[in-house]
């Protein structure tokens, strides 16, 4: 989100109609004025009703520095606690 904010500011400083980005003026205003707070994944996962979950495969690729592997593994374990299937593939 901070990078998106920087990009919108850069576009807005030029002769570019920032609404052409697909965001409406209210979304742009919120982005520019509200502080960014990362989502609390634990709270979001607790809101999921797993009984209503659709059993379809979902893939996500997360590429990160090797130093982040331990933290990433903690996130993946948290997902598994809520019944979300996670497959791992770490490059060596």
Model confidence, pTM: 0.41
pLDDT of residue 54: 64
Query: What are the residues whose beta carbons fall under 8 Å from the beta carbon of 8, sequence distance 6 or more?
Result: 18, 21, 23, 28, 31, 32
Residue 4 pLDDT > 70: yes
29 vs 51, which has greater pLDDT?
Answer: 29
Residue 6 pLDDT > 80: yes
d(CA 77, CA 83): 10
């Amino acid at each position: 989100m901070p990078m998106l904010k920087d990009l919108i500011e850069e576009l807005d400083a030029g002769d570019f109609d920032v609404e052409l980005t697909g965001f409406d003026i209210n979304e742009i205003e919120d982005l520019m004025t509200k502080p960014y707070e990362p989502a609390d994944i634990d709270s979001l996962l607790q809101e999921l009703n797993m009984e209503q979950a659709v059993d379809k495969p979902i893939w996500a690729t997360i590429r990160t520095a090797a130093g982040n592997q331990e933290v990433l593994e903690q996130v993946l374990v948290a997902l598994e606690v809520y019944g979300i299937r996670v497959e791992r593939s770490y490059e060596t």
